[in-house]
Amino acid sequence: MNPLVTPFFHAPTGTWTYVLSDPATREAAVIDPVLDYDWRSGRTGVSSAEQVLRHLEEGGLQLRWILETHAHADHLSSAAYVKARAGGTVAIGSGIRDVQATFKRIFGLGEEFVPDGRQFDRLLEDGERIALGDIEGEVIATPGHTNDSVSYLFGDALFVGDTVFMPDGGTARCDFPGGDAAELYRSVQRLYALPAGTRVFVCHDYAPGGRPVACETTIAAQRAGNVHLKAGTPEHEYVAMRRARDATLDVPNLIIPSVQVNIRAGQLPPKESGGVSYLRVPLNVIGRPL
């Protein structure tokens, strides 16, 4: 049994959110929902999340899962908001504990933030099975971009997070704390071992060459044509390319707010005495010297 998949594009961050559902039972999962954020004002917004919620409501879908492919560094997660509105279990790969420990240090977070994954409802291990109605989902650990990265396979639909992008977009960067190009190479080999016709849904698309944005491809198309990593690309060649390229990339616009919210499963930091929630900015820690 294969799920119905509806994509939602968040243009400001180039992020794809997916709603997948089991046509038989009308149970649904949301993958990587986005919280809107304006850096200049510090305002968060829920218009993207509301689109997803409207789709669930109009389709008479019962939300079972809110799945994160990893702690994103380029957009904030609306997992907590979606859960408050529609229910569901918020889950992420168990590697989130490493990511939380790393960023607790980088952001100088206090005792209040415990890096043991308790902010999420479920931490998923490699190979774990999760049910979406009559469709069985499998968690495939795909570290490399981050420690906690996982892909989700439901029937013939594979949600790859930041591993590979569309074939002309290549692969995800591996230079964040905990990232590792050789590890990403091995993760992608696991995905490439899946059946050729597996539908692949990517987490981002930046529309290279000005083509329309796209979200869906296949394992066969990735193996044959991914511009960074084809079926026969040797590991050392990929790792050298990835490292050289990562050394030229800018820090993502929203890494500072995103990580602080996403390691809390999409919740804002606890309100302080004036009833306001604050983010922290570590000076001269993230990125390259100016």
Tell me: does residue 68 bind Fe ion (CB under 5 A): no
Q: Least distance (Å) from Fe ion to the CB of residue 73? A: 6
For 234, residues 6+ apart whose C-beta sits below 8 A from its C-beta are none
Q: Do the Cβ atoms of 260 and 279 come closer than 8 Å?
A: yes
Q: How many residues of this chain interact with Fe ion, rule: CB under 5 A?
A: 2
Closer by beta carbon to Fe ion, 36 or else 162: 162
Q: Least distance (Å) from Fe ion to the CB of residue 111? A: 28
- Region binding Fe ion by CB under 5 A among candidate stretches 15-23, 35-43, 64-72, 127-135: 64-72
Q: Least distance (Å) from Fe ion to the CB of residue 70? A: 6
Strands 89-93 and 122-124: parallel
Alpha carbon distance 109, 262 (integer Å): 14
HEC sequence for 38-94:
ECCCCEEECHHHHHHHHHHHHCCCEEEEEECCCCCCCCEECHHHHHHHHCCEEEEEC
Interacting positions 70-99 with Fe ion (CB under 5 A): 72
- Region binding Fe ion by CB under 5 A among candidate stretches 65-73, 106-114, 131-139, 274-282: 65-73
Q: Least distance (Å) from Fe ion to the CB of residue 134? A: 31
Among 162, 180, 183, 205, binds Fe ion (CB under 5 A): 162
Closer by beta carbon to Fe ion, 63 or else 99: 99
Closer by beta carbon to Fe ion, 64 or else 72: 72
Q: List interacting residues with Fe ion (CB under 5 A).
A: 72, 162
